[in-house]
Amino acid sequence: MTNRSRLTGFWYVLPALAFVILFTAWPFVQMVWISLNDWSLITPPTFVGFENYVDAFADSQFWISLRFTLKYTLLITPILMIGGYLISLLVTPNSGLSRLTRTVVFTPVVIGLGASSLLWYWLFSPNYGLINKFLTDLGLIDSPILWLGVDADLSNWAVIISITWKVLGFGMILFVAAIQAIPQEITEATMVDGAGFWQRVRKVILPLTRRTILLVTLVSVIGSLLAFDQFYIMTAGQPRNLTATSTFYVYLNSFPYLKLGYGAALSMILALIILGFTVVQMALTRRSNT
Amino acid sequence: MTKALSDPIQAGPLDLEFEPALREGASRRFWAGRNKYLLGAVCIVICLVLVTPIVLSVSASLKTTAEAAAVPPTYFPSELSLDNYDRLWNYGSGLPTYLRNSLVTAALTIVMTLALTVPAGYGLARFPVPGKEGMFIFLLLALIIPYQALLTPVFLMFSTLGLTNSLIGLAIVHTTIQLPFSLYIMRNAFEAVPRELEEAALVDGASSWQVLRRVFLPTMVPAVITVTLFAFVTSWNEFLGALVMLTRDTSLTLPLVLAAARSVTSLGSTDWGMLQAGVTVAIVPCVVVYLLLQRYYVSGLLTGAVK
């Protein structure tokens, strides 16, 4: 190929490159710089080196937020993975009812997190919500449960229920595709061997869909570590900021509190944690491929 | 690095058609030895549980004002009414303003995403650009640095450029989020076109731009639909970026207005009926678009599950 065609190709890529430089790479460089400054927007920035980072590690709310985010991630990930996988096993055969179930389970995935959180905020409302009403009608509770914003663990579970409803279909659809991609001869061979269903799942289906399982785990762990909308809307961080996730705490510092330097340092720490997970998961995904 | 990034996306089941038809017989045998009525019943229960919240929300939006605020609440409206939608229509600067903001932002996001990723996909897939693997990785940068972490510098940049409280500014943020996924879809689609088609046109003396328009674009329709669909859903639903970038009431998008309506109403307490009317308005376009274009949605997810 000629030099001309090389250059032509470059011109086509240039707008996208410029966009990423301007709106992703450059802001990232700026964020590094901001994180090294004491800056409250009203006063001019003063260079303080790594002081913001040092402050973060001494900040109890930073740890509360980080621990809470990790706890949320550790609780919800297995639910999403196991739940999604079991449903995918159920709906893998292409019957009419299976297809319908796939469509229904996937529908909440396309709904906005904001809308779904408001929907569940209402369902979990102590006096106006239908969850307490239903539990009362079943005779399981006498007085309304205060689901959101009073007890951190209970709030966490309420959010987990809502998010499970919202994103279960994401893993399911990818798992169904992975299971259907298993060559039929393999599945049939194990059936001839007289292997029972769960034996087939354990010996054949799970190992052969390993890389999809890892990929979905990666996507959902990263998504959970960055959780914001659901807590902002359903708990507003209450009680006493105990349910303010890491992203929530970054937001609080950067915007309402206007501690730009400190917020940027927190962003950097969060971005590094995410990067760590990305790298670990990618290494795992790659090894399982060979 | 290249391998690490592209591997989980390219290989595995993700390049396959979503439903490589399992033969009916095999399909039945998948569950060999299981009671099919029991399995069917489990499917039905799952469907009912998953669909209930949406049904309850939509039906709550159709209650009368009094019934929507009743304690204890009713499961279904005893009398249908559009009162809640009436209040929503006139809430704040009025629902039409907010709907317009959400739609304009989504439209701008779609246009920008396509304008950037169609040429970039073409350039990366069909030209011997030096260092193109490196460029591709660089363009996927937003996957590694989450946009949530970049909002402070972007906000500062936008304040100097006058792009806060601007739908263009918000659309730029949404385009940033959507870019890696869309580029992935586009590059794959361009790579899938056989070389002969392109060569025939080049022999006729067509320029690369003419080849793009006449030869490639007609075959790119599914990819363009997929990218458009995901850009719409992302932009329509996105919350945090909008929360940071928009403060003036007349420029708010729908999700922000609903979140605000959760706590503040003219009555001083939450207007539950209006809130569920708002949730319904926010949900319906996404669900309709999904049900109509399900095929593109699922294939897009399988190709670019990195999102």
Instruction: Find chain B residues with C-beta within 8 A of A238's C-beta.
Output: none
Domain boundaries, chain B: 92-303
User: Vertex A113, ends A108 and A119: CA angle to 5°?
Assistant: 75
Across the interface, whether the CB atoms of B60 and A122 are under 8 A apart is answered yes
pLDDT tens, residue by residue, A207-263 = 988 888 988 888 899 999 999 999 999 998 888 899 999 999 999 998 888 889 999
**CA gap B142, B236 in Å, rounded:** 19
- Residue B23 pLDDT exceeds 50: no
For residue A264, tell me if it sits in a domain.
yes
**CA gap A263, A255 in Å, rounded:** 8
Q: How many residues does chain B have?
A: 307
Lowest mean pLDDT among A22-36, A37-51, A109-123, A247-261: A37-51
**CA gap B6, B136 in Å, rounded:** 10
Mean pLDDT, all residues of chain A? 88
pLDDT (mean) for B230-249 = 92
Across the interface, whether the CB atoms of B115 and A87 are under 8 A apart is answered no
Say if the ipTM goes beyond 0.95: no
DSSP codes, B80-122 = ---HHHHHHHTSTT-HHHHHHHHHHHHHHHHHHHHHHHHHHHH
Which chain B residue's Cα is nearest to A88?
A: B43
pLDDT tens, residue by residue, B206-227 = 888 888 888 888 889 999 999 9
Instruction: Find chain A residues with C-beta within 8 A of B23's C-beta.
Output: 184
B277 Cα to chain A: minimum distance (Å): 10
Instruction: Find chain A residues with C-beta within 8 A of B6's C-beta.
Output: none
**CATH number of domain containing A112:** 1.10.3720.10
Q: How confident is the model at residue B12 (pLDDT cuts 50, 70, 90)?
A: very low
pLDDT tens, residue by residue, B113-128 = 999 999 999 999 988 8
CB contact at 8 A, A275 and A187: no
For residue A26, tell me if it sits in a domain.
no
A215 Cα to chain B: minimum distance (Å): 7
Bigger pLDDT: A193 vs A207: A207
Q: How confident is the model at residue B182 (pLDDT cuts 50, 70, 90)?
A: very high
For residue A17, tell me if it sits in a domain.
no
Lowest mean pLDDT among A26-35, A192-201, A238-247, B242-251: A192-201
CB contact at 8 A, A141 and A135: yes
For residue A201, tell me if it sits in a domain.
yes
The encoded tokens of residue B226 equal: 């997929």
pLDDT tens, residue by residue, A164-188 = 999 999 999 999 988 988 887 887 7
Across the interface, whether the CB atoms of A197 and B34 are under 8 A apart is answered yes
Please give the pLDDT value at position B19: 44
For residue A2, tell me if it sits in a domain.
no
- Residue B91 pLDDT exceeds 80: yes
**CA gap B282, B236 in Å, rounded:** 8
- Residue A283 pLDDT exceeds 80: no
**CA gap B109, A83 in Å, rounded:** 34
Instruction: Find chain B residues with C-beta within 8 A of A213's C-beta.
Output: none
Which chain B residue's Cα is nearest to A170?
A: B301
CB contact at 8 A, B157 and A27: yes
Residue with tokens 């997810």: B301
Number of structural domains chain A divides into: 1
Nearest to B13 among A34, A177, A270 (CB): A177
Instruction: Find chain A residues with C-beta within 8 A of B270's C-beta.
Output: 125, 128
- Residue B29 pLDDT exceeds 50: yes
What distances in angstroms separate CA A125 from CA A128, A191, B232, B269, one per listed residue? 5, 50, 31, 13
Across the interface, whether the CB atoms of A285 and B122 are under 8 A apart is answered no
**CA gap A96, B219 in Å, rounded:** 31
Instruction: Find chain A residues with C-beta within 8 A of B176's C-beta.
Output: 19, 23-24
Please give the pLDDT value at position A89: 92
Which chain A residue's Cα is nearest to B174?
A: A23
Whole-structure pTM value: 0.87
**CA gap B118, B224 in Å, rounded:** 8
In CATH terms, the superfamily for domain B92-303 is MetI-like (1.10.3720.10)
| Percentage with pLDDT > 70 across chain A | 95
pLDDT tens, residue by residue, A8-28 = 889 999 999 999 999 999 999
For residue A34, tell me if it sits in a domain.
no
Parent domain of A183: 61-287
- Residue A286 pLDDT exceeds 80: no
Bigger pLDDT: B301 vs A153: A153
| Percentage with pLDDT > 90 across chain B | 42
ω into A78 cis (within 30 of 0): no
- E-only strand ranges, A19-136: 37-38, 46-47
What distances in angstroms separate CA B251 from CA A227, A276, B100, B265, one per listed residue? 25, 37, 9, 19
Across the interface, whether the CB atoms of A264 and B153 are under 8 A apart is answered yes
- Taking alpha carbons only, the member of B43, B18, B61, B153 closest to residue A29 is B153
Which chain A residue's Cα is nearest to B152?
A: A254
> What residue type is assigned to position B205 of the chain?
G
Please give the pLDDT value at position B186: 92
Q: How many residues does chain A have?
A: 290
A153 Cα to chain B: minimum distance (Å): 22
For residue A39, tell me if it sits in a domain.
no
What distances in angstroms separate CA B226 from CA A220, A260, B32, B299, one per listed residue? 22, 37, 37, 8
pLDDT (mean) for B73-89 = 89
> What residue type is assigned to position B161 of the chain?
L
Lowest mean pLDDT among A120-124, A276-280, B68-72: A276-280
pLDDT tens, residue by residue, A134-168 = 999 998 988 888 999 889 999 999 999 999 999 99
pLDDT (mean) for B157-168 = 92
Please give the pLDDT value at position B304: 66
A55 Cα to chain B: minimum distance (Å): 18
CB contact at 8 A, B172 and A18: no
The encoded tokens of residue B66 equal: 């009094």
**CA gap B211, A79 in Å, rounded:** 49
Nearest to A174 among B116, B149, B302 (CB): B302
Nearest to B302 among A27, A92, A177 (CB): A177
Nearest to A130 among B73, B115, B278 (CB): B73
For residue A168, tell me if it sits in a domain.
yes
The encoded tokens of residue A30 equal: 């700026």
Please give the pLDDT value at position B58: 94
CB contact at 8 A, B293 and B110: no
- Residue B4 pLDDT exceeds 80: no
Which chain A residue's Cα is nearest to B48?
A: A104
> What residue type is assigned to position B267 of the chain?
L
Please give the pLDDT value at position A3: 59
Across the interface, whether the CB atoms of B286 and A111 are under 8 A apart is answered yes
CB contact at 8 A, A226 and B146: yes
Across the interface, whether the CB atoms of B20 and A10 are under 8 A apart is answered no
- Residue B7 pLDDT exceeds 90: no
Please give the pLDDT value at position A279: 76
Across the interface, whether the CB atoms of B262 and A121 are under 8 A apart is answered yes
What distances in angstroms separate CA B62 from CA A181, B127, B179, one per listed residue? 44, 56, 39
